[in-house]
Amino acid sequence: MARVCGIGALLDPAGSAPPDSGARMAAAMRHRGPDGDGVCRLGPATLANTRLAIIDVPGGDQPLRSEDGAITAIVNGEIYNHVELRAELESAGHRFATRSDSEVVVHGYEEHGTDVVRRLNGMFGFALWDSRAERLVAARDPFGVKPLYWCSDGRRVALASEIGALLAAGLIDPRVDRVALDHYLACRFVPAPRTLFDGVLKLPPASILVAQEGGPVRIESYREAPGEPFDGLEGEELSRELAERFTDAVERQMMSDVPYGAFLSGGVDSAAIAAAMARRSEGAPSTFTIGFPGHGSVLDEREYARESARLIGTDHHETAMGQADFLGELERCVRRLEEPCGVPSAPALMALSRFTAQSVKVALSGQGADEPHGGYGRHQAAAALGLAGRLGPAARPLRAAAGLMAGNERARRAARLLGDMTDAERLLRLGEITDDGLRSELVSSRGEQAAAERRGMAEQVLADVGDRGLVEQALYLDTRLFLPDGLLICADKMSMSASLEQRVPFLDLELMRFVERIPARERVRPRQGKRLHRRAMSRLVGPAIVNREKHGFSTPYDMWLRESLGEEVERRYSPGAALGDLVDPGTVGRLVRAHRAGSADHKRILYCLLELSEWHRTFVEGEVPVEAEAGA
């Protein structure tokens, strides 16, 4: 298969777009697929793609077509259950022209229409032109592992894997969406359907887009609520079943005709992936890590990763990043992120991806384990809030006591969370990094529209699990709202910047259908985040790795912000700076000074402001070229 990693489509019935729009879209995504590209004109529709060869490397290029030529598709991603789907479709009379996993999208659409998406276990963004119905159809995978952006001016509809393709085609102008800015300063990312670019939308995870001449663009969700909770499956039987299903998921995602490996930190999640790979492959898997010299084992996990590699038996490789490299890497990083996502490890992930791509074309990653299994402190907080909710009026003294501790930010936050609000609002605030008051100081807006949008998004997602407890709702909301457009988009953009495909076995659809039926009481216990997950993974990696303290993939950015990086943030928001119309320089200066003095912890919002300044400089001010560059 000629694996496609960047797709673009344009529906332009009047022919008003520049004739080279498709070629310009493909050129802007060359870093996603340096092995080739193509542009196909189909009446009013144009399909463009770039190629990264993974499976059946000498095989034919996309687009892929149905037997009668009526359906033409381009697909970014991997369909892990394509062998079973191919057998079903061939039994129904369909004839396949390639070995491509992506061809099941074409014949599946012929057979099932847009319901084909419900049958795909994979990470994907695809677009197809249906010449019989004269419509453009696009879809994004259930968890949003692969991004898909779109825009419309009422006459034309365009979509692409990256915003840069829409910019390069001359279809939009880079302007700031003020409502999205409030989302970003609250959540560290902009949840779909908005982006930070006014007029550019993200297709939400588990969504289908349908566009036809003369009608509005239609967006439909195909998200499926979890099945009924298991009753009676628990203890050793449950952890054994979870470990086996996880190992099966890793094996599914090892399909490749080119070298592949795994990112390896010092933690249990990436180690479990490497161990599962070792169990289901003949040779030693290749693993890759990055560290930060001079910052001890908490942040520089190379020593722990090295030990995990030795215990598992991998072919291990490591690299490093220092403070002096960070700003330069941040500039390259934001150019490829296209939207700031508030992930301080993004520059390091970009450097690690570039390093890894020297050896392999595919890397499996441990992302997606924390959200469904309760790996964050906010999941413990949700358990405490659920208890307080059950106490009813008896919780009022707790709220009053917390409110009196004015000098303690955690206490003030607890008081706010114990206040009168819906569960959706409570869970949203657990994931937010700023309160309404600070955002109002920063952007001189009360953010009412953004807050209403976030509440509406959360309520829509939580409707799937409205009969479950607060902890289970927190896990589901994290997985379906916070994960896709923050960490997952970051992972896709940073790996693809180096033409490296990153896969996330913990979000395998078949595995997740099993995980989300496990009652929250089994997954999370007080002071026991990822309780079941760690017991299951210990069957693969042993207690020495499982019992290490959780740190996550992090960087020493807190310390750097107290040093030269903090000075850089204040400089970028000084009076008269280009961002002065968007963000108040005085408020930023106050946050920087308090953080550098150690009197407050503002690292998360300060990093977001640093990333925002780089984004604004690159895309709005146009000071940094956004064209593809070798090695960028």
Q: How far apart are CA 611 and CA 99, in angstroms?
A: 42
Q: How far apart are CA 275 and CA 297, in angstroms?
A: 22
**Host H or E run for residue 75:** strand 71-79
Q: How far apart are CA 384 and CA 402, in angstroms?
A: 14
Query: In terms of Cα–Cα distance, which of 96, 182, 148 is closest to 436?
Result: 182
Query: From the CB of residue 410, how many other CB atoms can be counted at a distance below 10 Å?
Result: 10
Q: Is 521 exposed, middle or buried (0-12, 13-18, 19+ CB in 10 A)?
A: middle
Please name the residue that has the structure tokens 């004109």: 41
Q: How far apart are CA 219 and CA 198, in angstroms?
A: 19
Return the sign of the alpha-carbon dihedral for residues 464, 465, 467, 473: negative
Half-sphere exposure (Cβ direction) of 444: Cα atoms closer than 13 Å:
7
> For residue 282, what are the contacts with CB-CB under 8 A and spacing of at least 6?
none
Pairing of strands 201-202, 149-152: antiparallel
Query: In terms of Cα–Cα distance, which of 126, 128, 117 is closest to 73?
Result: 128
Query: In terms of Cα–Cα distance, which of 549, 573, 80 is closest to 298?
Result: 549
Backbone angles phi, psi at 359, to 5 degrees: -115, -35
Query: In terms of Cα–Cα distance, which of 167, 228, 158, 310 is closest to 517?
Result: 228
- Helical spans, DSSP H, in 267-405: 268-279, 296-299, 302-312, 323-337, 346-356, 370-373, 377-391, 396-404
What is the amino acid identity at position 581?
D
Task: Quote the DSSP letter at residue 301.
Answer: T
Catalytic residue set: 5
Cβ(576)–Cβ(566) below 8 Å: no
**Host H or E run for residue 438:** helix 436-443
Residue 128 pairs in a beta bridge with 73, 137
